[in-house]
A and B are shown apart, each in its own frame.
Chain A
Amino acid sequence: MSLFNVFDISGSALSAQTIRLNTVASNLANAEVVSGSPEDTYKAKAPVFQTLFNDAINKDGASGVEVLEILESSAAPRQQYQPEHPLADDNGNVWLPNVNAIGEMANMISASRSYQSNIEVMNTSKQLLLRTLSLGQ
């Protein structure tokens, strides 16, 4: 019964989008964390999605999605001259994370929309199943 597989497929997408939202939350929360060296600075994180080729799901021809890994951005951290800062190095510089707040907000909206559309898919499938169960009544 393929309609039950929809819950596996859309459920995997909900889980993946939640991880994406979590990375956005982490990036925004750490956007202003100051550190004394470029190496110690927080780096923006982003999940990499991959199609889930699970045998149990794939036998019906449709596959879900999973998070393959969470990558850290390789962009250079922001450097700020603040000699009075307690963490400043010998040259008076502190470093801020390479988080792009506008990009993160756009990412958040995209993740939220994808989450919603998968919820809609599950709701519709639930209605179809319930209608099928009450067949002939």
Chain B
Amino acid sequence: MVINLDNAFGIHTRALSLYSQRTAVLAANLANADTPNYKAQDIDFKGILTRLSSGGNESSQMAATQAGHFGMKTITSRAAERLYRQPHQPSLDGNTVDVQAEQAAFTDNALRYMTTLRFVSGKVQGLMTALRGE
């Protein structure tokens, strides 16, 4: 039996990558909490993860219906997946960052990251136990 390490960790590796991207987006929201006209953003986590786990890769591909069409694999869909938040209470200066909500989302995201990390860590330890055979 050959263990495929790419599949050993299942969805968790993709989830980790997405969580770290979301960390950066939420950090940008908090960094721009006082910037006029900045619009708070977030990513469609469920949508991206569903697409990634259904076999798609991170770049969105255009349909090639003719022999001469290019694949256009270089267009990454990450930027398109970033959506603007619906503001509860926008400021007069056009800023829609709600610092408390963003901090809550950031903490939530960090905890989810650590949870996923724990799953991956458990997988690694399981593999190590199997390899050692002690």
Interface residues of A (CB under 8 A from B): 1-3, 5-6, 9-10, 12-13, 16-17, 20, 48-51, 60-65, 110-111, 114, 117-118, 120-121, 124-125, 127-128, 131-132, 135-136
Contacts and interface: CB of A to CB of B under 8 A. Distances in A.
Nearest to B103: A117
A49 B35 contact: yes
Given A48-B36, A117-B99, A128-B23, A65 B82 contact: no
B34 A61 contact: no
Contacts of B99: 114, 117
A6 B34 contact: no
Most buried by B among A12, A62, A64, A128: A62
Q: Is the interface of B mostly helix, strand, loop or mixed?
A: helix
Interface stretch (B49-57, B84-92, B112-120): B112-120
Contacts of B79: 61
A125 B23 contact: yes
B32 A65 contact: yes
Interface residues of B, number: 36
B30 A61 contact: no
Contacts of A50: 35
Contacts of A1: 20
A121 B24 CA distance: 10
Interface in B19-33: 20-21, 23-28, 30-33
15 contacts: A3-B20, A3-B24, A6-B23, A9-B31, A10-B30, A16-B34, A50-B35, A62-B27, A110-B34, A117-B103, A118-B27, A121-B106, A125-B110, A128-B114, A136-B124
Contacts of A127: 110
B78 A124 contact: no
Contacts of A65: 31-32, 34-35
Contact of B24 (A9, A12, A117, A132): A9
Most buried by B among A2, A20, A127: A2
